[in-house]
Structure 1
Amino acid sequence: MPLINFHSERLNATMEVHFEEFAKIDLSKIITIPCDCKSGIYKVKVTYGRFIESIEFQEYELKPHRKVKIIEDNNIDYRYKSVERTSLNSFLIENPDFDDVIFIKNGLLTDASYSNIALFDGKNWFTPESCLLEGVKRRSLLESGKIKKKEIRVNDLHDFSKIAFINAMRDFEMTYNFQIENENMFLNLTQEK
């Protein structure tokens, strides 16, 4: 399972913040892939409190983005991965004509609702310094040097020609050219692996 060590580290760091006492968890030792999930793409959902509560396997479909709403919210906070996504999901519900939303916090680009983002300036890929959630794929791409961190404001978007939505299930399988009109981002698929 790719990135499993990063997932374990993030899970344990989250538990350390929320619980005085807990036993460290190594996800590679407790997750067993069921036979019916060995082909295809599956997302593993681990629900936990002080202990692991459940492990679920869900088929994953890589969905394209076509139209993304840019929303400013200076109060949004999602620094710990959680099943409680009401604040993030409410923006999608309020904007049903859009495939996703990208959040601006304190004037800076952060993340989309289900992913970190990376922007291409013609030479390098950059991810916003001010992400909402330190995603494991983002961390992996940063450590490998494939992307770099940069403070990015909405007005800086014209400096970039492409965008990618990255999370544990996706990185550069789909990249998009984009144009901005008002607070809307319109995307055209440029690459699909």
Structure 2
Amino acid sequence: MSLLFETIKCQNRQLHNLSYHDNRVRWSRENLFGMSHDFDFANTIKIPDWIGEGIYRCRVSYGEEIEKVEFFAYEFKHPKVLQLDEYPSFNYEFKYEDRGKFQNLLKIYPNADDVIITQNDLITDATYANIALFDGTKWFTPNTFLLLGTKREYLLDNQLLTEDEIKVSDLKKFKKIALINAMRDLDLAYDFEVDKNIISIKLNNGIA
């Protein structure tokens, strides 16, 4: 079995959203390994001395035990093209390090920056993020998600995001799209256009 992993945002030497990462690790280990004891990243991760101010990505690889903790510099990348792909059998309930299915999907669309997976014409997730869509008043996220994202859960708990069924045909009702994950929040939001199965991002004035 592949190891699992967590990506944790480290900003100015502070680890973000740890309780949500703890919960996902606890849930994953209980369901995969039958382990029921609590888990606490705050007492597990030591931030290296070379980490300074700014934003870094902390990656934790684990199975029944923590296998590796790594830190990397992080730079935000803005997508230009998102491809929609219907993949009814795709499943990503646990955050495995083996991302071969995602990588194969991205290879099919070399001109796309990411692929949004649809199932039965419903929006699920992109390969590296949950989806959020803004209608001009509220932010929504699909209730047909693939992975229980930590940032998604945080935004839902704080009533900054509303869960709903979102069809591919509903995309034209929305004004902005955001790809949310541990490193990306709703402030990285983009105006967009939809043409068949391609979402084109407007970078000039689309960043909220």
Q: Name the counterpart of 1:157.
A: 171
Query: For the residues of structure 2 that align with 1:40 and 1:67, how far apart are their CA atoms?
Result: 28
Q: Name the counterpart of 1:169.
A: 183
How far off its partner does 1:24 sit? 3.2
Q: Name the counterpart of 2:83.
A: 69
From 147, 154, 164, the counterpart of 1:140: 154
Over the matched positions of the two proteins, sequence identity in percent amounts to 38
1:31 aligned to 2:23? no
Length-normalised TM-score, structure 2: 0.88
Identify if the C-alpha distance between structure 1 residues 159 and 96 changes in structure 2 by more than 3 Å, giving closer, same or farther.
same
Query: For the residues of structure 2 that align with 1:67 and 1:91, how far apart are their CA atoms?
Result: 15
Query: For the residues of structure 1 that align with 2:21 and 2:63, how far apart are their CA atoms?
Result: 15
SS in 2 for 1:6: helix
Q: Name the counterpart of 1:99.
A: 113
Q: How does 1:1-12 map to 2 (within 5 A)?
A: 1-12=15-26
Identify if the C-alpha distance between structure 1 residues 2 and 78 changes in structure 2 by more than 3 Å, giving closer, same or farther.
same
How far off its partner does 1:38 sit? 2.6
SS in 1 for 2:50: helix
Greater mean deviation of Cα atoms: 54-63 or 15-24: 15-24
How far off its partner does 1:173 sit? 2.9
How far off its partner does 1:192 sit? 4.0
Greater mean deviation of Cα atoms: 152-161 or 37-46: 37-46
Q: Name the counterpart of 1:119.
A: 133
Q: Name the counterpart of 1:19.
A: 33
Q: Name the counterpart of 2:7.
A: none
How far off its partner does 1:99 sit? 0.7
CA contact (8 A) 2:142 2:163 kept: yes
Q: Which runs of structure 1 show a deviation greater than 4 angstroms over 4 or more consecutive aligned residues? A: none
Query: For the residues of structure 2 that align with 1:21 and 1:37, how far apart are their CA atoms?
Result: 32
Length-normalised TM-score, structure 1: 0.95
Greater mean deviation of Cα atoms: 21-30 or 131-140: 21-30
Can you give the 5+ residue segments of structure 2 that lack an aligned partner in the other structure? Answer: 1-14
Q: How many residues align?
A: 193
SS in 2 for 1:9: helix
Identify if the C-alpha distance between structure 1 residues 176 and 161 changes in structure 2 by more than 3 Å, giving closer, same or farther.
same
